[in-house]
Amino acid sequence: MTNLIQQPPLNQTPTNIPILEVADLSKKFCRNLKRSLFYGINDILTEFTGRDRISQKLRPQEFWAIENISFQLHPGEALGLIGANGAGKTTLLRIISGLIKPDTGCVKIRGKIAPLIALGAGFNPILTGRENIYINMSILGLTTLEIHKKLPDVIKFAEIGEAIDTPVQTYSSGMVARLGFACAVHIEPDILLIDEVLAVGDIKFRMKCYQKLAELRQKGTAFILVAHNPHVILNICQSSIYLSQGKAITFGETTAVIRQYEADLAAGDVNEALGMMHLPPKSAHESLGIDITCLCFKDTQNRIIHAPICGDASILSVTCQVTKPIVHANLGVIITALSGYQERVLYITSASDHHTFKILPGKIEIQMRMPYLGLLPGCYSAKIYIKSGMSSLDIIPSFKFTVQPGKIASQSLFYQPRIWQIINL
């Protein structure tokens, strides 16, 4: 069950007392709709007649969305939830916020909680933004007088302008995101639940969100943050929980938790991310003059390596079979992170480095030598192509590889090589 415990104001509460306690929390769902409705009716009748329903066991076609999750959150702490889609992160937040009831376990909350689980949830699309502010913030526990005092700050933060008096159904997703976030943070909650909402909106608004979160945290607000981008978790949360198939795999310092998550992600895709790819030769009518036959990484001794190391020297090797002379060939490499939001992290072409190749028929190897590999540990996919002018000669849509940890680069977007020295002036 979920218990709401009334406590003194947060600034009067000792920081050693948990503001949130989650103990042995479990929730199960049924994969079949008809059977789920039957189970639901059966559970209602069981509780109505005063009998105890058996919540610890799975019935046919049921599964644990979360299972035996326990943790504590103190004032001013920020906890990250990390895991793949379907790991149970949103289910856990919904239980904590009181939207759904757990099957087993207990949630104890001391103070005011504000969930940002689904932006726009609770907004009436027919009503204006101003009217929805009053409704949303009253649901979150503020009186009409308190909302009236905070209204100018909410509108200013949301940056909606004259649209504040138009129906929400005319808003873009970014405008709804700004309005929802503004409502939640201006009630100054004791606990703020954030589920992927920082992924919406432009960079300017996201920076404003981070600044507001830092202000609230200094005042003692605690956060639980869900984000598929590990760098967001790294920059906000000191500790994190790694969830997989509803179970807590590990709990601890965020950098260590993310490294284990990315290592498991790489291990799960080991057959596709070995750092080497062989391609069959093309027929004469399919070939455009040059065919990529092998992709791999090598060390500085030209030995093939299955996984390059962050911060170390590496070589991307592209072996080709050439059937006709090519002038001004251009090799392009587009690298995308497989974790997080699958964002493009690197785009390099030899032409942008003012380096094109004159290639003669035969078997050749094109090498991109990197004195330092700046990619952080994790799984990546590279799109590799060869062009001559505007004409594409061969394209490999996805070459998957894993970067192993080497140099310490926590809370960074890439590894920056450096040299330290002192100069006496």
The one-letter code for the residue type at 124 is N
**Which class would CATH give 20-267?**
alpha beta
Q: What is the mean pLDDT of the chain?
A: 84
DSSP label of 121:
T
Q: What is the pTM of this model?
A: 0.70
In the chain, what are the domain boundaries? 20-267, 276-424
Q: Which residues contact 113 (CB under 8 A, 6 or more apart)?
A: 96, 97, 98, 189, 190, 191, 192, 193
**Does domain 276-424 match CATH 2.30.42.10?**
no
Does the structure show a pLDDT above 60 at 27?
A: yes
330 C-beta neighbours (distance < 10 Å), count: 19
How high is the pLDDT of residue 6?
A: 45
Low-confidence winner among 336-350, 368-382, 409-423 (lowest mean pLDDT)? 409-423
Query: What is the rounded distance in angstroms from the CA atom of residue 377 to the CA atom of residue 308?
Result: 9
Share of the chain above pLDDT 90, in %: 31
Spell out where 246-390 has E strands: 247-253, 276-278, 290-298, 304-305, 314-322, 326-337, 344-349, 357-359, 362-370, 378-388
Query: What is the rounded distance in angstroms from the CA atom of residue 279 to the CA atom of residue 288?
Result: 15
The pLDDT-based confidence of 136 (bands split at 50, 70, 90) is confident
Strands 104-110 and 362-370: unpaired
Q: What's the pLDDT tens digit per position in 257-296?
A: 887 887 776 665 544 555 688 888 888 888 898 999 999 9
If 0-12 CB within 10 Å is exposed, 13-18 middle and 19+ buried, where does residue 167 land? middle
357 C-beta neighbours (distance < 10 Å), count: 17
